[in-house]
Amino acid sequence: MSSASVAARPLRTTSRAARDIVRESVRRARAVASSSERPPAPEARRRPIPIDRRTLLLASATAASSRALVLATLRADAADETDETERETTRASAGGARDDPDGRSASTSTATSTPDGDGATRDSGEDPWEGSYVKPALSVREYVEEIDKERDAAFATLRALCASSKFAALSNELVLAPTDDVRQAAYYLPWALVKLDEDAGVTTQRAWSEMRDALTYLDATAIDASRYDAEEEDVMAGIDRVERALDALVDSVPAAYR
């Protein structure tokens, strides 16, 4: 054997081993590729959630209870509206009405032939204000004294706010002391007076209506002035109107009850 053939064997062995390595690499690559293209096993797929009869019944019961709750709420609201309507009808038939300083009218009537100042009828032998919602806590004289005590400070405050162009603060001042003290006393005064003298009480009630309108006008004018839609002179004129209405209200009270 020649030395050249002996030297060539290791080369053949080496090249065969390299080919085997290449074949093995290709086989593994193909195996990996084929495995990635396979669909997932049935166990790995998402299974639908089983819905049995008990689940369906529970869902139906929940929906039914929610519907029943809604229906019960609607019926309760309808019943409340019906009760309120019946109460208002009863009040109207009884002749009682409610008034407050914010503008709701006050009138009380009982079945007689004598008309009162609000156009209703009353029985001179009964107290037409007995069933009223307004219950004055003070006497006529005490309400007049409250007005006399607070009015100077109230109108001085209103005019000072107007002069300094604080129109929004003036609007708020109408529901704050001392202005509100005067307003409340003027509101309750007719209700206290009518228990002593019905004709005088009705007259004073009309005077209060004028004062209430003046207060409403003043409030609206002050708000307009705060938006530059009215002038300072308009607000000051509104204050003067309220004061004149208050004077008329106090003057309508007979001197014997002051």
Render pLDDT for 175-205 as a digit per residue (tens, 0 to 9): 999 999 999 999 999 999 998 999 999 999 9
Same domain, yes or no: 159 and 216: yes
Same domain, yes or no: 144 and 252: yes
Element (DSSP H or E) covering residue 31: helix 3-37
Same domain, yes or no: 209 and 149: yes
Is 64 within the bounds of a domain? no
Same domain, yes or no: 146 and 249: yes
Same domain, yes or no: 159 and 127: no
Same domain, yes or no: 104 and 194: no
Same domain, yes or no: 106 and 153: no
Instruction: Specify the number of domains making up the chain.
Output: 2
Find the length of the chain.
258
Same domain, yes or no: 146 and 125: no
Same domain, yes or no: 112 and 140: no
Is 63 within the bounds of a domain? no
Please give the residue that has the higher pLDDT: either 204 or 36.
204
To the nearest 10 degrees (0 to 180), the angle between helices 198-226 and 232-251 is 170
pLDDT digits (tens, 9 = 90+) for 2-22: 554 544 454 454 566 767 777
pLDDT digits (tens, 9 = 90+) for 101-153: 554 444 433 333 444 444 444 454 555 555 566 889 999 999 999 999 999 99
Residue ranges making up the domain that contains 189: 136-257
Element (DSSP H or E) covering residue 121: strand 121-122
Is 127 within the bounds of a domain? yes
> What CATH code is carried by the domain that includes residue 211?
1.20.120.290
Is 191 within the bounds of a domain? yes
Q: Is the pTM of this model over 0.85?
A: no
Mean pLDDT score of the chain: 75
Distance CA 152, CA 200 (A): 25
pLDDT band at 167 (very low <50, low <70, confident <90, very high): very high
Find where tokens 């202005």 sit.
179
Same domain, yes or no: 95 and 176: no
Please give the residue that has the higher pLDDT: either 219 or 98.
219
Same domain, yes or no: 130 and 140: no
